[in-house]
């Protein structure tokens, strides 16, 4: 499925500005610094920062320095001494302060500043202002400050009713992780959703047991960065996603387990092994790659190359040969050239995707990419998106064609569009329609796949036994 909007569950909320924080910028030096100070204020606005006239009212103070005069560093240290007092006075009132040093002195004397003035939280040179929101979010969290979207994950889940109704169709979603620390250049999630955090394994297992008792056969574990899951286990140790999946399969007895969305960097060995060992782990993986160009991947701050993604896919397919892959793609990220785009097309050719979501890059205020140069014209993005979606469509159709002739277990989640028809999901997340009785809804039964339609498969029931 190609789509112009992000998949559900992966929407991009706009930053909240309901709680504002004070920002005080002290600017020394040239026009360039004046401009930079304004830019820093701009990139911090989506995080809720509003300029205030005095450092005493500021949750964040930026000293934007100039190196052109003599004794520039000494002047900086003497100003920092003054700001330290402001920070201490605020701390006594229970208010945190992020203190940042920017500009040319920061660039030249960064290490010296951190060692002589350890109360400084952030030092950033002029080339890194676009990363300021990322640094601020990290520093504020490290300082224990609360970013409005940043709340203990359990607290939120506590508001969910414990006796949550099981969905009728035998498939349920279960959120295990929230937030993201990856800071991809284009993405607003780390700012809006805050730091990565995981629910304790015991809470997840308890909820899965309730769902199973209510008849749920398939659970999709959810998280912005679900394979970064690192919840506290009942044994006091940190559990990864693979461990959690094993317990859900072997002890809770969930027939089908899925998880989404994953990051290639967090695809660890034990999770790959779980795809080999656990038949309950469904052979479908949404593993966004975004681009096939190493240059663009680096600009996106994705933390891996195209070949590393290819190698990862090879290892996954080695573990689970019938694994179907899905991805997200962005065309027209700032700086993307025709040659970069061709690399993306080559990666698509090499990997072969069962489905994918693709987007034209669109700037999100406050993200590094939005402030970068080299924005790609809209008509170029349109053309690239069309070309990419055409190839992905061919791949999706080929993947679905290959299912014709298979006998596949289908979880029936509800009625189909036509009377007497049931609709369900194959292990590879394909929609499958058959004629059959309502009594099969919420159950798994084998289907002979006979037809491929635009976005679904058709077949006939072979046996009406639940493969419990
Ligand atoms: N522009 C276009 N697509 C984006 N996505 C996230 N941010 C942007 C953006 N600024 C896409 C990515 C991500 C998916 C959920 O949305 O492909 O994986
Ligand atoms: Fe956004 Fe990247 Fe985190 Fe995904 S991994 S939520 S794209 S920052």
- pLDDT in the model for residue 301: 96
- Report DSSP state, residue 226: G
- pLDDT in the model for residue 150: 31
Is it the case that residue 127 has pLDDT exceeding 70? no
Residues with CB under 6 A from ligand 2: 180, 182-184, 187, 189-190, 224-225, 263
Is this structure's pTM higher than 0.85?
no
Structural contact between residues 349 and 310, judged by C-beta atoms closer than 8 angstroms: no
Ligand 2 centroid – CA 178 distance (Å): 11
Any idea which ligand is nearest the CA of 357?
A: 1
Is it the case that residue 18 has pLDDT exceeding 50? no
- pLDDT in the model for residue 156: 39
Is it the case that residue 31 has pLDDT exceeding 80? no
- Is the alpha carbon torsion for 332, 337, 341, 344 positive or negative? negative
Per-residue pLDDT tens digits for 150-193: 333 444 344 334 444 456 789 988 889 888 889 999 988 787 66
Helices (H), 55-188: 72-92, 103-116, 132-142, 153-158
Question: Helices then strands (H, E): number in the chain?
Answer: 14, 20
Residues of the chain with CATH 2.40.50.140: 404-461
Q: How confident is the model at residue 342 (pLDDT cuts 50, 70, 90)?
A: very high
* Measured distance CA(15)–CA(372) in Å, rounded: 20
End-to-end CA distance of the chain: 30
Residue nearest to atom 2 of ligand 1 (CA): 361
* Measured distance CA(285)–CA(324) in Å, rounded: 6
| Site to substitute for ligand 1 among 187, 365, 378, most atoms within 8 A of C-beta | 187
Which one of 2.40.50.140, 3.30.70.260, 1.10.1670.10, 3.30.420.40 gives the CATH number of domain 404-461?
2.40.50.140
Question: Pick the residue with more confidence: 70 or 429?
Answer: 429
- The b-or-e profile of 210-224 (16+ CB within 10 A means b, else e) is ebbeeebbbbbbbbb
Of residues 198, 293, 200, 215, the one with CA closest to residue 247: 200
* Measured distance CA(198)–CA(179) in Å, rounded: 9
- Greatest mean pLDDT among 72-86, 123-137, 399-413 lies in 399-413
* Measured distance CA(139)–CA(98) in Å, rounded: 7
Ligand 1 centroid – CA 361 distance (Å): 7
Q: Quick check: CB of 372 below 6 Å from ligand 1?
A: no
- pLDDT in the model for residue 464: 56
Ligand 1 centroid – CA 330 distance (Å): 6
Contacts of 137 by beta carbon, 8 Å cutoff, 6+ apart: 47, 147, 190, 191, 194, 195
- Fold held by 21-148: Rossmann fold (3.40.50)
Q: How confident is the model at residue 105 (pLDDT cuts 50, 70, 90)?
A: confident
317 annotated to bind ligand? no
Question: What is the arrangement of strands in the sheet containing 355-360, beginning at the earlier edge strand?
Answer: 284-286, 324-331, 355-360
- The crossing angle, in degrees rounded to 10, of helices 338-351 and 306-319 is 10
Q: Which ligand 1 atom is at minimum distance from the Cα of 367?
A: 10
- pLDDT in the model for residue 167: 61
Q: Which ligand 2 atom is at minimum distance from the Cα of 328?
A: 7
Other CB atoms within 10 Å distance of the CB of residue 74: 9
* 3-class secondary-structure state, position 405: coil
Find the mean pLDDT for residues 439-447: 95
* Measured distance CA(157)–CA(117) in Å, rounded: 40
Least confident of 148-162, 293-307, 328-342, 409-423: 148-162
Least confident of 37-46, 92-101, 365-374: 37-46
377: alpha, beta or left? (left if phi > 0; alpha if psi -120 to 50): beta
Ligand 1 centroid – CA 359 distance (Å): 7
Question: Pick the residue with more confidence: 111 or 2?
Answer: 111
Of residues 202, 103, 96, the one with CA closest to residue 141: 96
Residues of the chain with CATH 3.40.50.12160: 21-148
Q: How far is CA 291 from CA 315, 358, 389, in A?
A: 20, 10, 13
- The b-or-e profile of 399-434 (16+ CB within 10 A means b, else e) is bbeebeeeebbbbbbebbeeeeebbbbbbbbbbbbb
- The fourth-level CATH superfamily of domain 156-401 is tm_1862 like domain (3.80.30.20)
Find the mean pLDDT for residues 11-35: 66
Ligand 1 centroid – CA 456 distance (Å): 26
Q: Quick check: CB of 391 below 6 Å from ligand 1?
A: no
Other CB atoms within 10 Å distance of the CB of residue 146: 12
Of residues 372, 282, 360, the one with CA closest to residue 324: 282
Structural contact between residues 99 and 87, judged by C-beta atoms closer than 8 angstroms: yes
Find the mean pLDDT for residues 28-50: 77
The DSSP secondary structure of 41-52, one letter per residue, reads: HHHHGGGTEEE-
Per-residue pLDDT tens digits for 204-262: 999 999 999 999 999 999 888 999 999 999 999 999 999 999 999 999 999 999 999 99
Q: φ, ψ for residue 317 (rounded to 5)?
A: -75, -25
Ligand 1 centroid – CA 345 distance (Å): 18
Per-residue pLDDT tens digits for 345-368: 999 999 999 999 999 998 887 789
417 annotated to bind ligand? no
- Report DSSP state, residue 352: -
66 annotated to bind ligand? yes
Residue nearest to atom 7 of ligand 1 (CA): 187
Q: How confident is the model at residue 68 (pLDDT cuts 50, 70, 90)?
A: low
Q: Please give the mean pLDDT across all residues of the chain.
A: 86
Find the mean pLDDT for residues 378-403: 97
Is it the case that residue 3 has pLDDT exceeding 70? no
Find the mean pLDDT for residues 6-30: 59
* Measured distance CA(169)–CA(411) in Å, rounded: 8
Find the mean pLDDT for residues 196-204: 92
Least confident of 23-32, 61-70, 116-125, 291-300: 61-70
Q: Which ligand 2 atom is at minimum distance from the Cα of 193?
A: 6
Of residues 41, 48, 44, 47, the one with CA closest to residue 20: 48
Residues of the chain with CATH 3.80.30.20: 156-401
């Amino acid at each position: 499925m190609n789509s112009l909007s992000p998949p559900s569950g992966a929407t991009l909320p706009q930053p909240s500005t309901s709680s504002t924080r004070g920002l005080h910028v002290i600017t020394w030096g040239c026009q360039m610094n004046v401009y930079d100070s304004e830019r820093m204020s701009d990139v911090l606005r989506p995080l809720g920062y509003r300029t205030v006239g005095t450092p005493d009212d500021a949750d964040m103070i930026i000293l934007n320095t100039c190196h052109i005069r003599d004794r520039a560093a000494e002047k900086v240290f003497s100003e920092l001494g003054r700001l330290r007092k402001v920070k201490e006075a605020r701390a006594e009132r229970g208010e945190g302060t992020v203190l940042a040093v920017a500009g040319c002195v920061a660039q030249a004397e960064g290490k010296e500043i951190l060692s002589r003035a350890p109360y400084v939280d952030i030092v950033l040179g002029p080339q890194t202002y676009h990363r300021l929101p990322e640094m601020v979010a990290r520093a504020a969290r490290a300082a224990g400050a609360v970013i409005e979207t940043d709340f203990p994950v359990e607290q939120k889940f506590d508001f969910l009713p414990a006796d949550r109704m099981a969905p009728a169709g035998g498939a349920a979603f279960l959120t295990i992780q929230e937030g993201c620390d990856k800071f991809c250049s284009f993405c607003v999630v780390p700012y809006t959703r805050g730091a990565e955090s995981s629910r304790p394994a015991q809470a997840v297992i308890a909820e899965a047991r309730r769902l199973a008792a209510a008849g749920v056969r398939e659970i999709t574990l959810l998280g912005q960065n679900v394979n970064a899951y690192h919840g506290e286990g009942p044994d006091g140790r940190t559990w990864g996603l693979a461990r959690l999946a094993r317990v859900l399969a072997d002890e809770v007895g969930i027939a089908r387990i899925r998880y989404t969305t994953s990051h290639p960097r967090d695809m660890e060995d034990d999770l790959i092994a779980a795809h080999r060992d656990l038949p309950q782990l469904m052979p479908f993986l949404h593993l966004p790659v975004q681009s096939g160009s190493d240059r663009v991947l680096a600009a996106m701050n994705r933390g891996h190359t195209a070949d590393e993604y290819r190698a990862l896919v090879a290892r996954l397919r080695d573990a689970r040969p019938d694994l179907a892959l899905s991805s997200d793609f962005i065309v027209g990220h700032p700086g993307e050239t025709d040659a970069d785009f061709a690399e993306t097309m080559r990666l698509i050719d090499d990997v072969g995707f069962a489905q994918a979501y693709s987007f034209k890059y669109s700037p999100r205020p406050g993200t590094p990419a939005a402030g970068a140069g080299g924005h790609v014209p809209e008509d170029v993005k349109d053309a690239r998106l069309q070309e990419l979606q055409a190839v992905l469509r061919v791949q999706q159709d080929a993947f679905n064609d290959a299912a014709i002739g298979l006998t596949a277990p289908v979880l029936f989640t509800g009625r189909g569009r036509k009377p007497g028809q049931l609709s369900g999901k194959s292990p590879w997340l394909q929609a499958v329609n058959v004629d059959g009785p309502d009594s099969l809804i919420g159950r798994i039964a084998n289907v002979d796949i006979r037809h491929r339609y635009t976005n679904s498969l058709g077949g006939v029931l072979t046996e009406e036994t639940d493969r419990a």
